[in-house]
Chains A and B, each alone.
Chain A
Amino acid sequence: MADVALTHGPVADKRRGEGLTAATLITPATLFVAFCLLAPLVVLFRYSLNEFIPAKKMMVEAVTVANYIRFFTDPYYTSILATTVRVAVMVTAICLVLGFPLAYVVARTQSRFKHLLIISIILPLFVGNAVRAAGWMTIFGSKGAVNATLMGLGLIDKPLEIMFTEKAVIIGIIAVNLPFMVLTLQSVIEGIDRAVEEAAFSLGAPPGTMFRRVLWPLALPGILAGTILTFILAMNAYATPFLLGGPLFKMMAPLVYNQFTQQANWPFGGAIAFILMTVTLLLTVAANLIFQRRAAR
């Protein structure tokens, strides 16, 4: 009954005023993103339904799903999609295993130098993928650090070919994505009260059990968020496969770029772009569902 009073008089006016303020605050950003992001995506999707005449390198207006069919029926393209998913899954799994201990140590440290630790994790993120790829190029090259060391030790006679392989790309993308995983996990672990861990220990749980029964379930939202972020970033990787994979190794993002700039095939390039986004989204949703079902059990 008291609620009735709230919907009349000055309070209602205040509410209307609030609605107006809220609208004024968010409308500019919304319109801008709608115009500069949604509208372009709609145009790109429309282009992906057009036809392309290779002989004239020309786009003809049409409404056809031929570009999508072409992608899924040509083993060349489906194998690129498979490679991309395989690389992304491996990168994500390794990032989780490597990232958890670091995230835990950063979250629980009492050190004065904690901020320096965090900066050294964030800094590489900001340096750009191309620069980090350059680092791996000096390490993996035929005269690079790895080969020079192994040959100097007499373990190998001729340089190992690491550059321009899938291994190099996976190693490179892990380094790119690991900071994202660590930062996401760290912020969640920091929110878990240390007392819960100590309670498990004092009740006699060995560390393995504590991790499995206490830390893991409590950190699950962060693990899921970090895993999804890492997976999306790996699916979309461009600079690392381009520089470390070489001309023969193909992933989806470089393929989109290639279709647009080298082949000038905008409809097919647009179709690949939407296939990449849809597959990423579907796999993310599937992972989410599986995780949640596990957690519910």
Chain B
Amino acid sequence: MADVLALVRRRARRWALNGAATVALAYILLPLIFVVWLAFFRQEIPSFPPEGYSLRWFAAILDQRKFVNGFSISFQVAALAMTVGLLFGVPAALCLARYNFKLRGPLANLLLMPIIVPGVVLGTAMYVFHVEVENGLDMDVIGTFYALVAGHVVIVIPWVVRLVTASLSGVDRATEEAAQNLGANPWVTFWRITLPAIRPGIVAGALFGFVTSFGNLEMSLFLVGPGRTTLPIVILQYLEWKIDPTIAAVSVVQILLIGIAMLITDHYVKLARVV
């Protein structure tokens, strides 16, 4: 009898734990679920219950050039910022994980700092800096594409450094030393031993960097020039006026693309292991 009671109690606890976890997961997903739902409404006003369902809002996206342009700008900026961020971040991560030197701590903090500085502060600081540089050097900086990309590289670097450093700590240094003892030069060692071992970290860093850049809102608000608005800013400005199924349809497209990118990445690197 006592055994049965204990079993029931254990079951109940298990249910309570799973229930609490489900509530939290539902909370996280709830806003996304409603955005997706709204995208299929027939009427334009987001009132419940919906009067019917329609797919016409997805066609309406293409009529609005600002969404298409915003998507294209965001994609270009994110792709470029990710590439440059990897070129800067992977070597830096190698250095931080492999060498011990006096400035190691401060430098690591500097490279991770962009995650901690508020987006609005990043944006304002970069904006006033661009003003100073533009006045000082007499060249176009404010609102240019490259100034925007440079800002995004700054926020990509910490993700690359963090995730690549983490994956490097799991690599046994003895393998590299063995390769070098067998006559491989540092380059060959890097290409044949180190790089394959840290590939998951690099893929994850690239993914997180790309998506951080693609979704960045606060910093970009200060860096975009006329006619060069990124998608998150277009969405924010639209939502300031109204919420309707069109903006929900835009969001659904974005959710789908990011979801697919994550599933593809997960196929190569288990996201569960890198985050």
Q: Which residues of A are at the interface with B, using a C-beta cutoff of 8 A?
A: 18-19, 21-22, 24-26, 28-30, 32-34, 36-41, 43-44, 47, 98-99, 101-102, 104-106, 114-115, 117-124, 126-139, 141, 143-145, 147-149, 172, 174-175, 178-179, 182-183, 187, 207, 232, 235-236, 238-239, 242-243, 253-254, 256-257, 260, 266, 269-270, 273-274, 276-277, 280
Contact = CB atoms under 8 A, between A and B. Distances in A.
Interface string B105-122: 001001101101111111
Contact of B17 (A43, A105, A187, A243): A105
B248 A118 contact: no
Interface stretch (B59-67, B169-177, B194-202, B262-270): B262-270
B38 A29 contact: no
B interface: dominant SS: helix
Which of under 10, 10 to 19, 20 to 34, or 35 or more describes the interface residues of B?
35 or more
Interface in B151-165: 151, 153-154, 157, 161
B20 A102 contact: yes
Nearest 9 pairs of A and B residues by beta carbon: A135-B31, A40-B129, A143-B47, A148-B48, A236-B118, A101-B20, A40-B125, A25-B95, A29-B92
Interface of B: 13, 17-18, 20-21, 23-25, 27-35, 37-38, 45-49, 87-89, 91-92, 94-96, 98-99, 101, 107, 110-111, 113-114, 116-122, 124-129, 132, 150-151, 153-154, 157, 161, 186, 211, 214-215, 217-218, 221-222, 232, 235-236, 239-240, 243, 247-248, 251, 254-255, 258-259, 262-263, 266, 270-272, 275
Given A105-B17, A127-B215, A238-B217, 12 more contacts: A36-B126, A37-B122, A41-B125, A101-B24, A105-B18, A134-B247, A136-B34, A139-B30, A236-B218, A260-B127, A270-B124, A277-B118
B260 to A, nearest CB: 11
A243 B128 contact: no
Interface centre among B33, B46, B94 (most CB of A within 10 A): B46
B218 A253 contact: yes
Contacts of A134: 31, 35, 38, 235, 239, 243, 247-248, 251
A34 B266 CA distance: 33
A129 B27 CA distance: 15
Contacts of A99: 24
B160 to A, nearest CB: 9
B31 A132 contact: yes
B151 A36 contact: yes
Given A22-B99, A120-B29, A243 B239 contact: yes
Nearest to B266: A115
B95 A28 contact: no
B262 A187 contact: no
B155 to A, nearest CB: 9
Nearest to B236: A130
Nearest to A47: B128
Nearest to B222: A260
B114 A43 contact: no
Nearest to B36: A135
16 contacts: A19-B101, A22-B98, A29-B89, A29-B157, A32-B88, A43-B132, A105-B21, A123-B259, A131-B251, A131-B255, A132-B32, A143-B48, A238-B120, A239-B236, A242-B236, A280-B118
A274 B120 CA distance: 11
Contacts of A280: 118
A75 B24 CA distance: 37
A43 to B, nearest CB: 5
Contacts of A256: 120-121, 124
Contact of B95 (A22, A127, A138, A273): A22
Contacts of B270: 115
B235 A131 contact: yes
Contacts of A236: 118-121, 218
Contact of A29 (B45, B111, B258): B111
A130 B217 contact: yes
B95 to A, nearest CB: 4
Contacts of B248: 134, 138
Interface centre among B23, B45, B251 (most CB of A within 10 A): B251
A4 to B, nearest CB: 20
